[in-house]
Amino acid sequence: MATTYLPGAVRPANPTRRAFIAAAGLTIPAVAMAAMPIVSNPRSGWDSLVAEFHRADDAQKVADKAHDAAETVHFAGRKLLGERPKSPNSDYPRPISDMTIGELRDYAAPPEQQAQHATALAEWQAKSDELDQRYKRDAEDDWHDAVDAREDAVNAIFAYPAPDRTALLFKLDLAEREYHGLGIDLDETVAKHVFTDVRRFARGEA
């Protein structure tokens, strides 16, 4: 029998963004619900889903750490890179209070200043893109993949009829951990699955 230990829900560095993503992923489409297979050994099928959840949960924890480390390095590099070069067209030749609306609308810095700015901006953008690619984008993609895989595993558990009381308690704990403290209501599809299981057990049908 697969272990019933349920690790705490991951609380990443950016709770607002990640909580939103996690909550959005828990909605199970009706088509996916209808497509759930009927297996000859419900307990075996359940144990496989729980094992996959634990694997996906551990993988997301690893991805969380890698993503946070990459962001730390990325922000440090951003600080060293400095601010984006400011357009010379924003530096007016005299106080704007002394300029007419037409002068403000039509003002353009001397061509040589604009050329220098274009060169500086291109160099800054190239370094910024390199920094993003090296220290953030790959980790960001890996993190999103890990989040998606964990959400799929969670959804599969909720959609699968609990084969016994231990499995039902696992579902209840999982629902509580996924939603507790996120400031959002329990997803109605998740609630429907859980309440369906509770009714089955209450009627002695499981």
Phi, psi of 83 (to 5 degrees): -75, 155
> Cβ distance 43 to 159 under 8 Å?
no
What are the mean pLDDT values of the chain's consecutive 10-residue runs (206 residues total)? 38 41 43 44 89 96 92 84 79 72 73 84 84 79 94 93 91 84 73 86 80
Angle (CA) 24-177-25 rounded to 5° is: 15
Alpha-carbon distance of 206 to 195, in angstroms, equals 13
How confident is the model at residue 145, as a pLDDT? 94
DSSP annotation string for 77-109: HHHHH-SPPPPGGGS-SS-GGGS-HHHHHH---
pLDDT of residue 45: 92
Residue of 121, 55, 54 lying closest to 83 (CA atoms): 121
CA distances, 19 to each of 54, 166, 190 (Å): 19, 27, 16
Those residues whose C-beta lies under 8 Å from the C-beta of residue 113, and which sit 6 or more positions away, are 88
Within 10 Å of residue 113's Cβ, how many Cβ atoms? 14
The two most distant CA atoms of the chain are separated, in Å, by 84
| pLDDT for res 12 | 40
- Is the CB of residue 46 less than 8 Å from the CB of residue 3? no
Residue 120's φ and ψ, nearest 5 degrees, are -65, -40
> Which distant-in-sequence residues (6+ apart) come within 8 Å of 90 by Cβ?
none
Give CA–CA dist 167/157, Å, rounded. 9
pLDDT score, position 205: 76
